[in-house]
Structure 1
Amino acid sequence: MRTYYVIAAILIAGTTAQESFKCPDDFGFYPHHISCDKYWKCDNNVAELKTCGNGLAFDASDSKFLTENCDYLHNVDCGERTQLESAISTPHCPRLYGIFPDDKKCDVFWNCWNGEASRYQCSPGLAYDREARVCMWADQVPECKNEEVAGGFTCPAAGEVSGASGSFSRHAHPEDCRKYYICLEGIAREYGCPIGTVFKIGDADGSGACEDPEDVPGCEDYYGDLDLKSIRKSELLAGIQNSGETRKPPQGKPRPSSAPARPNAPLQE
């Protein structure tokens, strides 16, 4: 996930008769003494009060005061500059600028730019951590419940899976040919096979691997008429994998109900 820095962008100019500021030098950008999203611009020793976009704050880390930079609030150390302009909200955006979690889905977050929200979704098995502001394993995110990210799947008890390697085992997703679960010391994490492949249940219980759809009975038509060779080679796919944004996979055929059942993984109605 990229961090956006805003240099001299989306700034709302403003002056107040109640405030005055004496420029230390002919030219420069200086933090407001109590407001984190305000700053003073000095030009020819004349001070002008400026305000960053709603959800941005003035980055005062330049000791020479020559940088005009408003950045996301969570990236700026405001120190004693605790005051902020009142929030202006739009759908999915508590403020006009920022990165915010979804209210209902813990694996979704929104990047807000001037009040326009762009939806992002973490990769399978990951959830958006509100403090670190990155996608992490869902079981490491306090706000995320197992039933949200693993569809209620519960790992088998220790020793219950004969084909498991120690405390590690793989299990097919009950409804999606491409997805599967990995159980590690009793913790379920959802994974997704690379685009162009599906999960094939192994010969031993608790095992399996990602294979070509034609080699997985019941999942042959998961990708429909798409040219899988072109998909695997495309630069677009590489860009999706590196961007952190998960786009919807082709609406292919779900895993057939005749697939071997796994403990504690009932089919959803």
Structure 2
Amino acid sequence: MLKSIVLVVVFAVVVTHAQFKCPKNRGQFEDEIQCDKYYECDEGVAKEKYCADGLVFDQSIKLVNKCDQPFNVDCGDRVELQEPQGTTEFCPRKNGFFSHPDPSICNIFFSCINGEETEMTCTGALHFDEKSGTCVWPDVAARTGCARNNDNKKLDDGFACPKEKQFDKNGQMVIHPNFPHPTDCSRFYYCLSGIEPRLGQCDPGLVYNEEISRCDAAENVPECKDWYKDDNEKKAH
């Protein structure tokens, strides 16, 4: 009885292979059902192959290796994948980029290459997004249960980055916005990724111009036009 079952399984596999017909005599072609499975045709004979665990096949890639990260490939209806071969809780599959296993930690993720993980951290207030494989703004990632990080960070003088997103005159969001210093024309604040406060210093002779969001000649900033007046007078004497 067991021998009969084995023969049936083997026969089913042979039939499956026989059903795939090479579109061309040579080349690599995607499986219709499984996204990480493909066929390599040589003289019209198909050989079944698989991408490394965690990668999927993209027939449009011009290179010999047509396996890529899932977020770079539109698998369409080819939703099936091989069984995961992950080595640790941080690498559920041997290759790819994966969120931290703790759902409340959204700014840390892991890069896995052949089962070896490397911990990585998003800058500022960004969260890791598995759909794009990149760090994005929290509202774009739309992850739930994330612990707030980098909140209430202040410089020694009390400056903290505004929580509201900043936009330029064209309506484009500013990733690292600048802000004028309240008492020192030669200084300014800037916020890395909109949340990490830093104190900036203009080059000698320049002042911060809020209108253009960068350092400029003092005569172009009315409220700071005399900022270096005393220094110039001292040099004259």
TM-score by length of 2: 0.55
RMSD over aligned Cα atoms: 3.6
Which of 82, 86, 95 pairs up with 1:85? 82
1:184–1:71: structure 2 CA closer, same or farther, 3 Å change rule? same
Is the alpha carbon distance of 1:78 and 1:186 closer, same or farther for their aligned partners in structure 2, counting shifts above 3 Å? closer
CA distance in structure 1 between the aligned counterparts of 2:119 and 2:142, rounded to whole angstroms:
21
1:137 to 2:137 alignment: yes
Give aligned pairs, total.
160
C-alpha contact 1:110 1:117 (8 A) present in aligned 2: yes
Q: Which has the higher helix share?
A: 2
1:100 is aligned to: 98
Report how far residue 149 of structure 1 moved: 1.2
Change (3 A) 1:17 1:148: same
1:182, distance to aligned residue in structure 2 (A): 0.9
Q: Which residue of 1 aligns with 2:228?
A: none
Could you say which residue in structure 1 is the equivalent of 2:162? 183
Distance 1:186 1:41 in 2: 50
What's the secondary structure of 1:182's corresponding residue?
coil
Q: Which residue of 2 aligns with 1:148?
A: 148
Query: Secondary structure at the residue paired with 2:87?
Result: coil
**Aligned twin of 2:67:** 70
Q: Deviations over 1:69-119 (max 9, x none)?
A: 011122222223222111122221111111111123211111111111111
Alignment of 1:159-178 (within 5 A): 172=154
Q: CA deviation at 1:61?
A: 2.5
Percent identical among aligned pairs is: 31
Contact 1:39/1:50 (8 A) holds in 2:
yes
Aligned residue type for 1:99: F
Distance in 2 (alpha carbons) for counterparts of 1:71 and 1:86: 17
Query: Shift in Å at residue 144 of structure 1?
Result: 6.2
Give the equivalent residue in structure 2 for 1:110.
110
Cα distance, 1:43 vs. partner? Answer: 1.4
- TM-score by length of structure 1 reads 0.49
Q: Which amino acid aligns with 1:142?
A: A
CA offsets 1:200-257 (integer angstroms, 9 cap, x no match): x9769xx855269xxxxxxxxxxxxxxxxxxxxxxxxxxxxxxxxxxxxxxxxxxxxx
Q: CA deviation at 1:66?
A: 8.4
Is 1:125 the counterpart of 2:107 in the alignment?
Answer: no
> Per-residue displacement from partner, 1:13-61 (whole Å, max 9, x unpaired)?
xxx4342233333211111122211111111222211111111111123
- Residue 199 of structure 2: aligned partner: 210
Paired residue secondary structure (1:74): helix
Runs of 4+ that moved beyond 6 A: none
Q: Residue type matched to 2:77 in 1?
A: E
Q: 1:33 to 1:108 in 2, by over 3 A?
A: same
Asked if structure 1 preserves the Cα contact closer than 8 Å seen for 2:97 and 2:130, the reply is no
- The residue that corresponds to 2:24 in the other structure is 25
Give the gaps of 5 or more residues in structure 1. Answer: 1-15, 154-170, 193-200, 213-269
**Which structure: larger Rg?**
2
Classify the secondary structure of the residue corresponding to 1:39: strand
Structure 2, gaps ≥5 residues long: 1-12, 167-174, 190-197, 202-237
- Which one-letter code corresponds to 1:78 in the other structure? C
Aligned residue number for residue 57 of structure 2: 58
